[in-house]
Amino acid sequence: MSLLDSASHRRLNQLTGEWVLVSPHRTSRPWQGQIEKVRDAGRPRYDPSCYLCPGNERANGARNPAYSGVFAFDNDFAALTPQASALDFVQDGLFVAEEEPGRCRVLCFSPRHDLTLPRMSVEEIVPVVDAWREETTRFGTDDMINYVQIFENRGAAMGASNPHPHCQIWATHSIPNEPVKESARQGAYLERNGACLLCDYLALELSRAERIICRNDHFVALVPFWAIWPFETMVLPTRHVGAFDDLTDEETRSLADILKRLTIRYDNLFETDFPYSMGFHQRPTDGARHSGWHFHAHFYPPLLRSASVRKFMVGFEMLGEPQRDITPETAAARLREVSDIHYLDRD
Ligand code: H2U
Ligand code: ZN
Instruction: Give yes or no: 166 in active site.
Output: yes
Atom of ligand 1 nearest to the CA of 162: 2
What pLDDT is recorded for position 12?
A: 98
Instruction: Give the whole-angstrom CA distance, residue 106 versus residue 74.
Output: 6
- 3-class DSSP state of 75: coil
Predicted TM-score (pTM) of the model is: 0.95
Which is catalytic among the residues 113, 164, 166, 218? Answer: 166
- Residue 84 pLDDT > 70, yes or no? no
- Give the distance (Å) from ligand 2 centre to CA of residue 80: 24
In the chain, the percentage of residues whose pLDDT exceeds 70 is 94
Position 332 pLDDT exceeds 90: yes
- Report the pLDDT averaged over residues 22-50: 75
Residue 28 has pLDDT above 60, yes or no: yes
Give the mutation target among 47, 57, 64, 76 for probing the ligand 1 site: most ligand atoms within 8 A of CB: 76
State the pairing for strand pair 95-98/166-172: unpaired
For residue 314, how far is the Cα from the chain centroid? 21
pLDDT (average), residues 256-262: 98
Mean predicted lDDT score pLDDT of the chain: 94
pLDDT computed for residue 167 by the predictor? 98
Decide which of 157 and 105 is more confident.
105
Task: Give the range among 36-45, 87-96, 243-252, 285-294 with minimum mean pLDDT.
Answer: 36-45
Contact at 8 Å (CB) between 304 and 311? yes
Which of 33-37, 44-48, 254-258 is predicted with the least confidence, judged by mean pLDDT?
A: 33-37
Give, in order, the Cα–Cα distances in Å from 126 to each of 29, 187, 189.
Answer: 43, 31, 33
Q: Give the model's pLDDT for residue 38.
A: 59
Ligand 1 atom having least distance to the Cα of 76 = 16
User: Which residues make Cβ contacts (< 8 Å) with residue 15, sequence separation at least 6?
Assistant: 181, 182, 185, 186, 197, 198, 226
